[in-house]
């Protein structure tokens, strides 16, 4: 579900359409004023009535609605993937399988997560994003963020928490071959433009956008880990270190782990 996000939506359709088939995509536009993406193809696009609310209330309503939608879709499909327009669930290229092929081989009791890669612009090494090129050709660094290790894949009706960050009443499982790439912090100039979006500012999203700028500053300040053994360790860390107030959400505690994205992911998105 998205509003004022055609930039990401067009890339979202291109990626997931290739991985899953356009006819299996469901996009909910927040407001009847929202334009249909140019490359919609066979994707299912539904306009919803716009309800202008503060971000906290809006997120609860949005994920309640999407949880209901997912429950209906599970009457037709074996699995449902719930992600935002700037999030891309990716199978490790070493597996040699598409997303649909890989998920068909995995046992999922209720939900499944990919390790969260919060991609950010390295402010001293990487230039402003060239919109004509793929993201991962231009961005090499990620913050390993538990915020984006989301239970994106579900096999039965559940209730997602705000932002897809958890499934209420269920544990989470981080798959060893799945990654959730988040691109909300991909470019500083894009962040500045979002501060000018009156819709976002009117609903209290300023702090949310500031968090994305913070990701870029962390990535720019820290030396990146390059040994992929760290990815295995972080999966373990997020599995066993959890917030006291939310046992069914992963945590990085106070550790800001920055990694260099493995070369084999370049050009995928």
For 150, the token pair is 């989301």
Does the global pTM surpass 0.85?
A: yes
Task: Decide: 117 and 258 in contact? Cβ < 8 Å.
Answer: no
CB atoms within 10 A of CB 3: 19
Q: With b meaning 16 or more CB within 10 Å and e meaning fewer, what string describes 135-161? A: bbebbbbbbbbbbbbbbbbbbeebebb
- The string of pLDDT tens digits covering residues 30-56 is 999 999 999 999 999 999 988 777 767
Segment 77-108, tens digit of pLDDT: 999 999 999 999 999 999 999 999 999 999 99
Q: Print pLDDT tens along the chain (269 aa).
A: 998 889 999 999 999 999 999 999 999 999 999 999 999 999 999 999 887 777 678 889 899 999 999 999 999 999 999 999 999 999 999 999 999 999 999 999 999 999 999 999 999 999 999 999 999 999 999 999 999 999 999 999 999 999 999 999 999 999 999 999 999 999 999 888 866 766 655 555 566 678 888 999 999 999 999 999 999 999 999 999 999 888 999 999 999 999 999 999 999 99
| CA pair distance 77, 88, nearest whole angstrom | 20
- What span, in angstroms and rounded, lies between the C-alpha atoms of 161 and 83? 12
| DSSP 8-class letter at 184 | E
Q: What is the C-alpha to C-alpha distance for residues 247 and 255, in angstroms, rounded to an integer?
A: 18
């Amino acid at each position: 579900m998205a509003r004022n996000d055609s930039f990401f939506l067009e890339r979202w359709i291109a990626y997931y359409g290739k991985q899953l088939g356009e006819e299996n995509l469901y996009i909910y536009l927040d407001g009847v004023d929202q334009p249909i993406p140019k490359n919609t193809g066979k994707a299912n696009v539904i306009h919803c009535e716009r309800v202008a609310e503060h971000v906290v209330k809006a997120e609860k309503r949005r994920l309640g609605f999407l949880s209901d939608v997912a429950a209906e879709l599970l009457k037709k499909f074996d699995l449902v993937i719930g992600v935002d327009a700037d999030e891309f669930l990716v199978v490790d290229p070493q597996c040699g399988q598409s997303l649909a092929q890989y998920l068909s081989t995995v046992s999922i009791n209720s939900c499944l997560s990919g390790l969260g890669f919060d991609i950010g612009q390295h402010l001293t090494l990487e230039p402003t994003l060239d919109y004509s090129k793929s993201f991962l050709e231009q961005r090499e660094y990620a913050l390993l963020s538990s915020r984006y290790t989301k239970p994106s894949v579900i096999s039965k009706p559940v209730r997602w928490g705000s932002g897809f960050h958890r499934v209420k009443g269920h544990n989470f499982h981080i798959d060893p071959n799945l990654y959730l790439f988040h691109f909300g912090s991909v470019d500083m100039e894009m962040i500045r433009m979002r501060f000018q979006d009156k819709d976002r500012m009117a609903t209290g999203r300023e702090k949310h956008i500031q968090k994305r700028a913070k990701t870029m500053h962390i990535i720019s300040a820290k030396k990146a880990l390059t040994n992929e053994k760290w990815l295995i360790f972080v999966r373990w860390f997020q599995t066993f270190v959890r917030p006291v107030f939310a046992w069914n959400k992963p945590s990085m505690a106070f550790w800001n782990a920055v990694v260099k994205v493995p070369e084999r992911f370049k050009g995928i998105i």
